Amino acid sequence: MSNSEFQRVIVRPVDEYNQKLVSYVHPPNWVNPKPADCYDLVVIGAGTAGLVVAAGAAGLGLGLKVALIEKHLMGGDCLNVGCVPSKCVIRSARVVGEIWSAKNFGVNIPQYVDVDFPAVMERMRRLRAGISHHDSAERFQKLGVDVFLGSAGFASNNTVEVDDKILRFKKAVIATGARAANLSIPGIEEAGYLTNETVFSLIQRPQRLAVIGGGPIGCELAQAFRRLGCEVILFHRGSHILNKEDADAAEIVQNVFLKEKIRLVLNCQMQRVEKTSDGKKLYFRCNGKEDSVTVDEILAGAGRVPNVEGLNLETVGVEYDRRHGVKVNDYLQTTNPKIFAAGDICMDWKFTHAADAAARIVIKNTLFSPFGLGRYKLSSLVMPWVTYTDPEIAHVGMYEQQAQQKGIEVNTIKINFSGVDRAIADGEEEGFVKILHKKGSDEILGATIVARHAGEMISEVTTAIVNKIGLSKLSSVIHPYPTQAEGIKKAADAYRRTLLTPKTKRFLGLLTKLS
């Protein structure tokens, strides 16, 4: 396929910021280089995983020949339609949340909050464009990577074809990511709907917004758009939003949603969608009853599917599943030993930081593990994640149910923020720190934190798990007072108090007499 077909990439709206973005991540005047005789690594896909593999391998100063192929926008979902734009919009929405609660802090404000929705979205586009040079084709070219813009497919067991050019490789990495799943609701395609890939192109606020899916993406955007002035109705087939999270944590967020007047339709089955003169009419069944609602826009926040099409994976014996993606072993090696994969194309963890961590494993296993010696395993990673609602839910390690399934006896320590001074001062008492540890031991197995900045706090527990630091040592760590992170220390102190058995107390009493 000719590269000219990819020079007309357009990101809407076509303003100065999106033009700047495109100039970095898919420059219209880009000329693909002449391929090297043979590449040490050919990487297909320039999202987080692909960028990290390419930059990491080329940046070692070993003279490795690396090619990176991208058919759309470098930076992938994270930069263009995921983490970066969503967090910019969420930050604006948090300002509104602060204003709503201002009276609780003795600050009187006008009852009406004027949200300039076009300005919010313009700010997002400006910040995204400002960040985009980090993922630019030019930057990676300067790092020594041969960047090819075009659609790639395997031509043989050691070649990839892109833009009518043949790239020969010793090893290849598939990092083509995933995309929003199509909704199988009759009439919805004809009515039209938004996904995370199109919602950030909005320039006018939809007055009435339906969000389908009560998982992390749906919940984050439902709350953000509600705060930015939309009437939001959130449909979820489960009995509770965020049903894969800790139940206590999800309950807090659900109550916040109700307080903020997000209409929740739970235990819901979508029936069909019709386009009417008044908007898009959704028909649904909830708890056995038929109902309908008319909205201006529909946002699909449920499901991702891997980008496996067009790669000619059958040609190179790479097994895949259209729902779960490319099949890999624990070393991220596909069924073709010369081809590896990383990121959303092959992993259940669909997070930017997970793709980054997996890419580092791929660098080690493709380039520095002769005869399979010293390979790193995906299963060895300790993976934290965050749902960026307000408050946030951050988690790392096991849930109690997972530990039970593995036959591990556990104890749980829960510290409510109603007992943490800084949280009280901040007016953020609804959250908690919950730490799961092995019964009879201070070994930390998992943790969940619910707080406005839970994502900033979870790394302390992640560090403890990775470095096998138990609750006893964590208790000795001095935390600045007053901070909400003191909740972690309080949990560790709570564990230490469980060690004060009657026998221990008698021994300590003897020590005091001898001292």
Q: Spell out the residues 6+ positions from residue 224 whose beta carbon is closer than 8 angstroms to its own.
A: 86, 89, 90, 92, 93
CA-closest candidate to residue 441, choices 478, 484, 472, 399: 472
Please give the radius of gyration of the chain, using alpha carbons only, rounded to the nearest integer: 25
Binding residues for NAD(+) are 213-220, 303
E strand intervals along 304-431: 304-306, 320-321, 325-326, 339-341, 384-387, 392-397, 410-416
One-character DSSP codes across 260-278: TT-EEE-SEEEEEEEEETT
The phi-psi region of residue 190 (left if phi > 0; otherwise alpha if psi is between -120 and 50; otherwise beta) is alpha
Question: Using CA atoms, how far apart are residues 392 and 400, in angstroms rounded to an integer?
Answer: 20
CA 329 from chain centre, in angstroms, equals 22
Cα separation of 207 and 232, whole Å? 9
Which residues are annotated as part of the binding site for FAD? 87, 344
Binding residues are 87, 213-220, 303, 344
State phi, psi for 46 to the nearest 5 degrees. -115, 40
Contact present, 451 and 423 (Cβ < 8 Å):
yes
